[in-house]
Amino acid sequence: MPLFLGSENETIKVISSKDSCIRCNDDEYLDYLETLDEELLNLDPDMEPTRFILRKVLSERDRQVLNSLKIKKDKRGKPSVNTDYMIEEIYLALEDIEEDPSLPPEKRLPIARDLKGKVSKDFLKFLDQANVLNDLHSARDLSFKARGDGPLKKS
């Protein structure tokens, strides 16, 4: 049975590489994803970035949902990677989005929520098209690897 260090209430804050406040190169951004140290981003001091707040650890139920979606079968019955997996992972993990309160409404993200109060999957598809979801997914993944506090399996 897996042992998990950390709680389902722990969150991480992630700034996407697509944020206009960022003034760093790709290698520096990768270093940021591993540490989540915002100083590595060389943020524009005159702007406030958008921060995506993600649960670090998903509930057992949510992990089961994700595991069932990882692999799907194509029309011929051959296993293939489910491209909706990342959208579902971020849907389950995304707790909130912090935007600069001084932004005028027309410059804010078009955040929509579903009946459960979670960010809608249509909005997540918008983030996917803007190449933001990959950053969020990578940050969650690396938060386990870099900090060594992800799932541990008994041997």
Asked if the structure places residue 153 within a domain, the reply is no
Chain segment 38-85, per-residue pLDDT in tens = 999 999 999 999 999 999 888 888 888 888 777 777 778 777 666 678
Going by C-beta distance under 8 Å and a sequence separation of 6 or more, which residues neighbour residue 31? Answer: 37, 40
114: tokens are 């579903």
132: tokens are 């933001």
Chain segment 121-133, per-residue pLDDT in tens = 899 999 999 999 9
Asked if the structure places residue 128 within a domain, the reply is yes
DSSP-assigned letters across all residues of 5-27: -S-TT-EEEE--TT-TT----HH
Measured CA to CA, the distance from residue 63 to residue 60 in angstroms comes to 5
Q: Please give the residue range of the domain that contains residue 125.
A: 3-142
| Structural domain count of the chain | 1
Residue 95's nearest CA partner among 25, 4, 8, 7 is 8
Asked if the structure places residue 92 within a domain, the reply is yes
Asked if the structure places residue 150 within a domain, the reply is no
Asked if the structure places residue 147 within a domain, the reply is no
Asked if the structure places residue 116 within a domain, the reply is yes
Asked if the structure places residue 151 within a domain, the reply is no
pLDDT above 80: residue 7: no
